[in-house]
């Protein structure tokens, strides 16, 4: 989970559609920045693509737009910046990110921001009220948490995210033993003083305090939307056992809307041991899966 995902996509800028910037306010008056791709249609669906850990601006990552184009060609890409990204509020940059990012960013806030952006989309006449939600690594956890909260969701795809165990347990399973031994003390310190001043594993104590006990698959169990879990058996950042646990949780709950695909030769970034990148093929297969779940046109209209 600590590792970012979708970095494996090497995408020429010419292959990505331009984005337009939009915004909506949080209750505290701060602004959520989100970006929409173009469409040639008067009415369009959207595909929300969420990257993993980090504070990079989504507009600087053409691989996210590329993924959206593979998953839902013709629909508008939706990308949402995290709090404190691209901020001009004068807060200092610390360890490559704004202090506001360290102070405020959590999984829960990211979910809330997504819901506020989707609520803003509901006011737009062009949106056909259909959304595909896709996330990798930490973004996959957010996709799972969103699954039961977005009635317009038509499919949710979770890539390289160990959804079936508490986030704290996932991290302890993924990091080197010396770092795993530090985790209990770090988590206790984060609960005692959840601020952006303390940091561990590339994330703030504020983030750890919020995330440690979250089990994303519990949200999947509450959802009726079709869900595809994709995981590489060679994943060292989110061990495959944590992904299997998410699928087993869904199966044990009697859920038939959740499908699990384990890719034997691939790692967290959908690469084989020789470094060959298979991300485009994985996304293309996911797009085929989405298409197969369309309801008949006469019953449900255009997907």
Q: Give the pLDDT confidence score for residue 303 in this predicted structure.
A: 34
In a domain, 3, yes or no: no
Alpha carbon separation from 13 to 139, 150, 201, 295 (Å, rounded): 23, 31, 31, 34
Bridge partners of residue 261, in order along the sequence: 230
Q: Read off the CATH number of the domain in which 186 is found.
A: 3.40.50.1820
Element (H, E) at 144: helix 138-146
Domain of residue 227: give its range. Answer: 13-293
Alpha carbon separation from 229 to 73, 132, 149, 239, 286 (Å, rounded): 21, 14, 18, 14, 10
In a domain, 298, yes or no: no
Element (H, E) at 207: helix 205-211
Q: Give the pLDDT confidence score for residue 251 in this predicted structure.
A: 97
Is residue 200 within 8 Å of 191, Cβ to Cβ?
no
In a domain, 5, yes or no: no
In a domain, 248, yes or no: yes
Strand residue runs (E) in 41-191: 44-50, 76-80, 93-94, 97-98, 127-136, 153-159
- Dist. CA 84–CA 67, nearest whole Å: 24
In a domain, 300, yes or no: no
In a domain, 259, yes or no: yes
Tally of domains in the chain: 1
The pTM (predicted TM-score) of the whole model is 0.92
Q: What is the DSSP letter of 60?
A: G
In a domain, 6, yes or no: no
The per-residue pLDDT string of the chain (303 residues; one tens digit each, 9 = 90 and over) reads 555 555 455 454 445 668 999 999 999 999 999 999 998 888 999 999 999 999 999 999 999 999 999 999 999 999 999 999 975 567 789 999 999 999 999 999 999 999 999 999 999 999 999 999 999 999 999 999 999 999 999 999 999 999 999 999 999 999 999 999 999 999 999 999 999 999 999 999 999 999 999 999 999 999 999 999 999 999 999 999 999 999 999 999 999 999 999 999 999 999 999 999 999 999 999 999 999 987 544 433 333
In a domain, 139, yes or no: yes
């Amino acid at each position: 989970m600590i590792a970012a995902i979708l970095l494996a996509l090497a995408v020429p800028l010419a292959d990505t559609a331009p984005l337009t910037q939009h915004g909506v306010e949080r209750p505290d008056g701060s602004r959520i920045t989100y970006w929409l791709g173009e469409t040639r249609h008067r009415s369009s669906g959207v595909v929300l693509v969420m990257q993993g850990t980090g504070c990079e601006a989504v507009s600087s990552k053409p691989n996210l737009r590329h993924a959206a184009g593979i998953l839902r060609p013709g629909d508008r890409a939706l990308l949402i910046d995290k709090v404190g990204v691209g901020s001009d509020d004068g807060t200092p940059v610390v360890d490559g990110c704004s202090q506001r990012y360290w102070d405020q960013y959590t999984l829960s806030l990211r979910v809330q921001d997504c819901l506020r952006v989707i609520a803003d989309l509901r006011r737009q006449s062009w949106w056909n009220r259909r959304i595909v939600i896709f996330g990798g690594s930490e973004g996959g956890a957010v996709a799972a948490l969103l699954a039961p909260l977005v009635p317009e969701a038509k499919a949710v795809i979770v890539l390289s995210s160990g959804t079936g165990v508490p986030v704290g347990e996932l991290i302890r399973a993924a990091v080197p033993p010396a770092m795993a031994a530090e985790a209990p003390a770090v988590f206790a310190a984060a609960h005692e003083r959840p601020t952006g001043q303390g940091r561990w594993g590339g994330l703030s104590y504020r983030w750890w305090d919020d995330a440690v006990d979250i089990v994303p698959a519990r949200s999947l169990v509450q959802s009726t939307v079709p869900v595809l879990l994709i995981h590489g058996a060679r994943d060292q950042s989110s061990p495959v056992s944590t992904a299997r646990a998410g699928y087993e949780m869904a199966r044990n709950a009697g859920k038939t809307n959740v499908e699990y695909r384990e890719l034997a030769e691939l790692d967290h970034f959908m690469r084989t041991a020789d470094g060959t990148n298979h991300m485009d093929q994985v996304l293309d297969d996911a797009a085929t899966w989405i298409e197969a779940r369309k309801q008949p046109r006469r019953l449900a209209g255009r997907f």
